[in-house]
Chain A
């Protein structure tokens, strides 16, 4: 089959006007050509899939699932990476490989929670502002501006510092600082779509405001929101890890990556593995989502140039 496609049946490659001779093969699946043009998007998706799978399957694929909780192995303290413990063991003898995989669940839960909360709040406020305009728009957007005047990490840290330290409160604090971006995005989309002919057409046809908002504005804003979400996933993971590194997020027996780095910091000069692997997990996950976000941005907005 492959030979058939490659040989005589194909016409000779014709160089296009840009001077790039390129052999065009029929695609195995329609998205293939698009996919091949965005290698980073692919790498990102593979990495993200690996991270998500590994954390979802953590109870079954980790060698010592019990080590994700409050267990102590006094005889296994700070063992270097070996076949028994791929990433070594921590200060109380827990398997770091196990904890890193379980840590993925915490991070993914935080990302999903923050994205859902901030997208719902942001979209409602932004669509309302862009759709109704007038004083409501002015008031809502001034409030949004105030939130945007704080660097996200700063506001999240201030809030989390006031709340009691837990993973849920950290996620709430991050969501509280994150929604304004969605509000602004949705407002821009709503305002621009409102001026399009089909919005008028829908109104002429007797569509109510609610219908226009839900059937026409929301779906049209969703592409931009989706790209934003994948870019944000990386930022949320980094912010959540930073909060728990500062002691404002998940607390001890919970295997959270930022917390693991914080706990390993005093030991890191002698036991490099206690901080290296949790940190790498944060880096790899953030890179994966940034690759995806960047790739999607290029797919949907080719003007910015691909690579």
Chain B
């Protein structure tokens, strides 16, 4: 806990340093290159850029603690408000992608471990490595071209077909159309949201599928070689239950730890996928911030994703302790 807190403080410091020690004056970046000296001074005063580095850090830190990450340059709204607006959408997208990755990756890895050293293992490994080597932006564009432009099977832009608003209006519950449609029983919109989810989810899930499969295979093989598995096998348990109950169960721990790691990876991959599929989430917001050199927004996104990552690792530790008492 204390360690996690230390890391959080470090994350805030590092984010601050990235913004301040890099060549280029943030005040100039905000006010624009044609700003007058008075305008620059006003901007400096407004963002606490006129003091020493320590004073600036104190201002920044108190801002972060009070939930103030500054004003975004491209949306002209407080960064924190922006983040609250865009994050749930991304969370839905990434969560569905990770669920898909687990449902494909774990069986794929188990199949590889089961046919160790034989053709099935080889094929599974090649598939996994292809998945983790895929440039996400390229995969997303290819999916878009093949399944939308060429075949026309699925829609590509946004969260759902907004023309449906006329016939079956969507009521906002939490602000994420998929969930809202499900909760309000708006099946027409729900079907449309699902169709819009397919391609972005596949693009984001590619890397996690490969990573999960490889780790599943590795830990399963380690566990299959353990004493207790041999004994259970010697006792005459059917191979399937040896595999599922005695080898797979203890393998779940590293897989869960990996999923947390992959979550952060998927979150950053969603930057690219969201901007390609015009998905109004955190990633799209981040890419627009980068393109408009929106420093407060870039740092806000960086800070929030890093904090989520730290938090997630903490949760993983707790979950692992529940699954495997040896960790405690």
Flag the segment in B5-13, B63-71, B232-240, B319-327 that touches A. Answer: B5-13
The answer to whether residues A246 and B287 also contact, given A142-B6, A261-B141 and a CB cut-off of 8 A, is yes
- Pick the contact of B10: A143, A155, A247 (CB < 8 A): A143
Asked whether A150 lies within 8 Å of B309 as measured between CB atoms, the reply is yes
Q: Assuming the A-B contacts A247-B291, A265-B141, are A304 and B135 also in contact, with contact meaning beta carbons closer than 8 angstroms in the complex?
A: no
Question: Does A211 sit within 8 A of B, measured CB to CB?
Answer: no
Residues of B within 8 A of A272 (CB): 145
Contact digits for B113-153, partner A, Cβ 8 Å, 1 yes 0 no: 10011000110011001101111111001100100010000
Other-chain contact of A161, B112, B116, B268, B290 (Cβ < 8 Å): B290
- CB-based contact B6/A307 at 8 Å: no
> When A290-B132, A307-B116 are in contact, do A248 and B302 touch as well, CB less than 8 Å?
no
The DSSP consensus for interface residues of chain A is helix
Please classify the interface of chain B as helix (H, G, I), strand (E, B), loop, or mixed, using the class held by over half of its residues.
Answer: helix
Report Cα–Cα, A147/B13, bound state, in Å.
11
Q: Which of A41-99 contact B (CB under 8 A)?
A: none
Q: Complex formed: what's the CA distance from A162 to B309 in Å?
A: 22
Q: Pick the residue among A150, A151, A258, A307 that contacts B125 (CB under 8 A).
A: A307
Tell me if A125 counts as interface (CB < 8 A to partner B).
no
B10 with A287: CB separation less than 8 A? no
Contacting residues, chain B, for A248 (C-beta < 8 A): 290
Flag if A242 contacts B136 (CB, 8 Å).
yes
Which of B117, B265, B302 is within 8 Å of A305, CB to CB?
Answer: B117
A196 interfacial by beta-carbon distance below 8 Å: no
User: Provided the pairs A268-B145, A305-B117 are in contact, do residues A283 and B268 lie with their beta carbons within 8 angstroms?
Assistant: no
On whether the beta carbons of B117 and A146 are closer than 8 Å, the reply is no
Whether A149 lies near B7 (C-beta < 8 A) is: yes
Q: Once the chains bind, are B18 and A159 in contact (CB under 8 Å)?
A: yes
Question: Which of chain B's residues have a CB closer than 8 A to the CB of A128?
Answer: none
Whole-angstrom distance between the Cβ of B28 and the nearest chain A Cβ: 13
The contact sample of 11 A-B pairs, CB cut-off 8 A, is A151-B306, A158-B18, A158-B299, A242-B135, A258-B135, A268-B145, A269-B149, A303-B225, A305-B113, A305-B117, A307-B122
| A interface with B by C-beta (< 8 Å) | 39-40, 142-143, 145-147, 149-151, 153-155, 157-159, 161-163, 234, 238, 241-242, 245-248, 258, 261-262, 265, 268-269, 272, 275-276, 279, 282-283, 286-287, 290-291, 294, 303-307
Task: Report, nearest first, the 6 A-B pairs whose CB atoms are least far apart.
Answer: A146-B10, A279-B138, A286-B133, A151-B264, A162-B22, A305-B221
